Chains A and B, each alone.
Chain A
């Protein structure tokens, strides 16, 4: 719209009646855009928060399961002696250590996925050593643990 641009340049500081009428559509368009953008932002943040909360809960739930499992077995094997048991205890200790070191407060931690995979791997190794094969179902429904 070159005509509008020229007239805007010519009457820069004076609020011109003609200007107001000519530019009405563009102004409403702009205001509407700003309103929509702010609204979208708000909705996005809310949605993101819900999603983050769900995702965080899922990870927390999974890792929490592993921690409970590991602490229980440490307790069960606490008084056992022998090389076989000491290897199992060592692996359990390692799993507990990894879980405790995991930075729960920081979703931007750059090695989040990598560390989670290490925890999962260690958990699988421990299960293999203990010869138990738990079947976790993590989700919005009640978690079911079977042994």
Chain B
């Protein structure tokens, strides 16, 4: 019998509310909430994308998108308006699905990567899409009002497989994580996209990234079993003449000693500030920043830990954007689970 809930330091709880066999006999690789929080998209090794909606206390499958890809679907992402879903696949393509009254329809297939596409993400402006691949490149696409996609940049900055891309919540700043142990940031400079910063520090593959709600901090998680928090120092260093307006990023906190295996994903709740991690030891952990710490030297406390959240590696965790405390997770066991995170009522 699997433990459904556990409290970490005796202060907060993470309780299971529903478990689905989302991608039976396969792995579930990723889950993503729609912008309004009403739907959850999942994708997996069975080459399909499924969309789940609430029905009473549980979740039911509202749509199955299974004609788009020839191989595993590794990531899905909702557009900002919630009308489109992008799916990134090992078949080297990215499909764009449009929501219709009957379900979803594939409107475009983006090609160009030489091999497995590992991630896809929509920019906060809604007009750009980023993809990354095992071919070590990050591609940026622009979409116009007629749903036409055009490649605006191919960035070869990483030296190895790029695992994940994520956009800053408000600015057109892109972050990527790679097997080369680094995180890179990109922005547009004079009509061309360039890599403006490289964050070094992790000792192994960086698997996941998450910006905080304000976009001032970035969390990264790695095969080195740590989570690092990076902060952009917008004021610049005192006493140093600043010729550029580039914010400089540096690591202000490292969470180590909590995870016993590779950390595959990290999610930062924009409503509560809680940090969730998905780990290869089958567990989900929730961290929160200590309120009295210095902003540039924060400390995070482990608030909840469910040691056997899934039967196998947890691949992804995602906070619902509208309902505080609602967390979705998925695993190599093919299942999707929904959790309720509750902080203590006092203080």
Contact = CB atoms under 8 A, between A and B. Distances in A.
A117 B158 CA distance: 10
Contact of B156 (A94, A120, A129): A120
Interface in B151-178: 151-157
B112 interface: yes
Given A117-B156, A118-B156, A121-B155, A128 B137 contact: no
A125 B152 contact: yes
A125 B112 CA distance: 9
Given A124-B112, A124-B137, A87 B150 contact: yes
Interface of B: prevailing SS: strand
Contacts of A120: 154, 156
A124 B154 CA distance: 7
Contact of B137 (A87, A94, A121, A127): A121
A122 interface: yes
B149 to A, nearest CB: 9
A120 B155 CA distance: 9
A interface SS class: helix
A118 B153 CA distance: 10
A94 to B, nearest CB: 8
State which size class the interface on A falls in. Answer: 10 to 19
Interface residues of B, number: 13
B304 to A, nearest CB: 43
Contacts of B153: 121, 125
Nearest to A121: B154
Contacts of B151: 124-125, 128-129
A124 B113 CA distance: 9
Interface in A92-147: 94, 117-118, 120-122, 124-125, 127-129
B107 to A, nearest CB: 17
Nearest to A120: B156
Interface string B105-143: 000000110000000000000000000000001010000
A125 B152 CA distance: 7
Given A128-B151, A129-B151, A121 B156 contact: yes
A15 B14 CA distance: 92
A87 B191 CA distance: 12
A60 to B, nearest CB: 19
A73 to B, nearest CB: 15
Contacts of A87: 150
A70 B139 CA distance: 20
Contacts of B111: 128
A83 to B, nearest CB: 10
Interface string B248-280: 000000000000000000000000000000000
Contacts of B139: 128
Contacts of B155: 121
A87 B148 CA distance: 14
Contacts of A125: 151-154
Nearest to B136: A117
Choose among B111, B152, B156 the residue with the greatest number of A CB atoms under 10 Å from its CB. Answer: B156
9 contacts: A87-B150, A94-B192, A118-B156, A121-B137, A124-B112, A125-B152, A125-B153, A125-B154, A128-B139
Interface of B: 111-112, 137, 139, 150-157, 192
3 nearest A-B pairs in the assembled complex, by CB-CB distance: A128-B151, A121-B154, A117-B156
Given A121-B153, A124-B151, 5 more contacts: A121-B154, A125-B153, A128-B139, A128-B150, A128-B154
